[in-house]
């Protein structure tokens, strides 16, 4: 029977859209020295458009990676239960160090695309556009999670260029556990 050692939530800071393609927004990586396995139960993106976007709708993809990312801003997960201890070998990174702040580039090569989704775009500049959570992994992962073993991770990448009037927040719910 597996033993859960930590359940946590982690969110990126509000990341301003970048007018170039293939921008890494978030990574979750289980480092080589880890003795834990990681269950990724939920991974979503929230999008806020504050301006018109008449070009191609931005696409965000998730891929499995096997090389430790660098750069970025290491994010601190928040536990479901403060009696549980987070393993520092499980590392989440975001693409900025503060809400709407300057980019802190995550260097990570995307793997094979495992899930991709179009993000909403605003065709008019009337009002503010807030969209609901958009799943970056299938909802079935809440019951049957993606497992990250040592030296495995997930990379969330904006594939198409975005506009600087779009803002993104990536949210992740995960568990760390040991097998008998």
pLDDT in tens, the chain (180 residues): 889 999 999 999 998 877 777 889 999 999 999 999 999 999 998 887 776 666 667 788 999 999 999 999 999 999 999 999 999 999 999 999 998 888 899 999 999 999 887 766 666 655 555 566 778 888 888 889 999 999 999 999 988 766 677 788 999 999 999 988
Q: Which two tokens stand for residue 130?
A: 């807030």
Which pLDDT score is estimated for 167? 82
Give the global pTM: 0.90
Give the model's pLDDT for residue 98.
92
Residues 40, 28: contact at Cβ < 8 Å? yes
Cα–chain-centroid distance for residue 151? 17
pLDDT at 154: 97
Element (H, E) at 74: strand 73-75
Which of 19, 107, 22 is closest to 60 using CA atoms? 22
pLDDT score recorded for residue 101: 84
Q: Given the structure tokens 């191609």, which residue do they identify? A: 56
Token readout for 99 is 């809400």
User: Domain coordinates of the chain in residue numbers?
Assistant: 3-178
Question: Are 94 and 28 in contact, with CB atoms under 8 Å apart?
Answer: no
Rounded Cα–Cα distance for residues 11 and 14 (Å): 9
Tokens standing for residue 82: 């403060």
Quickly count: other Cβ atoms within 10 Å of residue 30's Cβ: 25
Specify the pLDDT at position 155: 97
């Amino acid at each position: 029977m597996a033993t859960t050692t930590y359940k946590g939530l982690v969110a990126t800071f509000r990341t301003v859209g970048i007018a170039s393609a293939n921008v890494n927004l978030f990574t979750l990586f289980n480092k080589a020295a880890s003795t834990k396995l990681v269950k990724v139960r939920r991974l979503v993106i929230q999008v806020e458009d504050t301006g018109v976007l008449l070009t191609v709708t931005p696409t965000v993809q998730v891929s499995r990676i096997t090389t430790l990312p660098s750069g970025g801003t290491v994010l601190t997960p928040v536990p479901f239960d403060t009696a549980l201890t987070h393993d520092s070998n499980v590392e989440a990174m975001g693409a900025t160090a503060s809400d709407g702040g300057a980019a802190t580039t995550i260097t990570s090569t995307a793997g094979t695309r495992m899930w991709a989704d179009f993000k909403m775009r605003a065709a008019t500049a009337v009002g503010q556009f807030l969209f609901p959570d958009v799943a970056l992994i299938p909802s079935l992962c809440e019951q049957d999670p993606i497992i990250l073993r040592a030296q495995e991770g997930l990379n969330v990448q904006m594939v198409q260029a975005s506009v600087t009037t779009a803002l993104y927040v990536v949210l992740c719910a995960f568990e760390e556990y040991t097998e008998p």
